[in-house]
Structure 1
Amino acid sequence: MTATAARATTSVMTDTTDDILTLLPARLKEARRAQGLSLEAVANLSGVSRSMVSQIERGESSPTIATLWNLTRALQVDFAGLLEASETVDRIDVLRARDVPVIDSKAAQCTIAILSPPEDVGGHEVYDISFAAGGALISQPHAPGTREQLTVLEGTVVLTSGTAEDRLSPGDTARYAADVSHAIAAPDGAARVFLIVKNS
């Protein structure tokens, strides 16, 4: 093989490897969601730690062949097929209003609509919360590093995070630590907030 041919072959191999590494995170995440599995469930089935599965899905870590083999077995997908290029299909996943899971908390005097998919529990959670007058959602500390972002849609709420406290009006957005005791209260009347929970 000539030097030029060798360089060309190396370039093709590098490009192919780069393509695989680019496709892999999205393919693994798609396969997990298709099975309706959480990160924790995949970790338990594969023997790969939850944090490692999360890092691989985010493209922050490249799995060894052994790790990838364990993941594909847990996800019941074909090892080779997972890495094959496929046509991109435009798609919109819609959660219709009638299908939104809603928790009615009598104790907290609020209803919590869960907008994020089940597999995102413990990762990136999204909620639409409506409070009756005097309602309060009091939460114990979440996992270390967890943060929340809250936007007030209607009414006024009082937000506490640890020893910090603030009053928020419609359109206000607060970002705060949720790995300490925290609470959202509507002491002045009915209120509605949009809440994002981000676990590290």
Structure 2
Amino acid sequence: MKELLSDVNQRIAGRVGQLRSAQGLSLDVLARKSGVSRSMISLVERGESSPTAVVLEKLAAGLSVTLASLFDPPATSPSGPIARRADQPEWQDPASAYVRRNVSPPGVPQPMQIVEVHFPPGQRVAFETGGRDVRVHQQVWMLEGAMDITLGTERYRLRGGDCLAMQLGGPTLFHNPTRKPARYAVVIASEPALKR
């Protein structure tokens, strides 16, 4: 897993740098937009850091993309309409040890992505999801176990088979309150935000 983690960190490094460059953002500007320090962004882009899910979500928000898109290969990599299981990148959050796998084929021009998550017992991850230039919708479909998901001040308990629809835009807390691992799928769709 350590070798695979290194490969995924290099992929994240390339994607963050590529997206920042494509948007013409300096390290300082991305730091202001994301709330992630300039030095941490630099470490991430050089592949010298194993950023947490919280840091990656902040970078994704600052770049106006979904967290899942940070795991895509560089835009120059050829891809097709099938993502074989062996080619689906897995990443483990160094803070909570949850494992996420991007299931969707990368580079396919569709507004949705699918991610599978294995969440350890007793762990939690709190995202301070802020505004983006795109609206991000998610549906969390519980496959095994149970999760508490808190959106702002509303808490939802999900058990096997339950599905929660949500829109990112505020604080979100994922917590497995049980002694058993949880497994769920997340379907993510994005659309341009309305200009104010």
Q: How many residues in Structure 1 have an aligned counterpart in Structure 2? A: 117
- Unaligned ranges ≥5, structure 2: 1-17, 25-75, 192-196
106 and 176 in structure 1: CA distance in 2 versus 1, 3 angstrom threshold: same
CA radius of gyration, larger in? 1
CA distance in structure 1 between the aligned counterparts of 2:110 and 2:126, rounded to whole angstroms: 18
Correspondence 1:125 to 2:113: yes
137 and 146 in structure 1: CA distance in 2 versus 1, 3 angstrom threshold: same
Among 166, 181, 195, the alignment partner of 2:171 is: 181
CA distance in structure 1 between the aligned counterparts of 2:186 and 2:154, rounded to whole angstroms: 18
Residue 128 of structure 1 deviates from its aligned partner by 0.1
Correspondence 1:168 to 2:180: no
Choose between structure 1 and 2: higher helix proportion.
1
Cα RMSD (Å):
3.1
Choose between structure 1 and 2: higher strand proportion.
2
Correspondence 1:98 to 2:86: yes
- Unaligned ranges ≥5, structure 1: 1-37, 45-74, 76-91
CA distance in structure 1 between the aligned counterparts of 2:101 and 2:109, rounded to whole angstroms: 14
String of CA shifts for 1:21-69, please: whole Å, max 9, x gaps.
xxxxxxxxxxxxxxxxx9999888xxxxxxxxxxxxxxxxxxxxxxxxx
Greater RCO, CA 8 A, separation 6+:
2
Among 111, 116, 132, the alignment partner of 2:99 is: 111
Give the letter for the 1:198 counterpart: A
Correspondence 1:191 to 2:182: yes
Q: What TM-score comes out, normalization by structure 1 length? A: 0.50
Q: Percent identity of the aligned residues?
A: 21
Which residue pairs with 1:152 in the alignment?
A: 142
Q: What TM-score comes out, normalization by structure 2 length? A: 0.51
134 and 109 in structure 1: CA distance in 2 versus 1, 3 angstrom threshold: farther
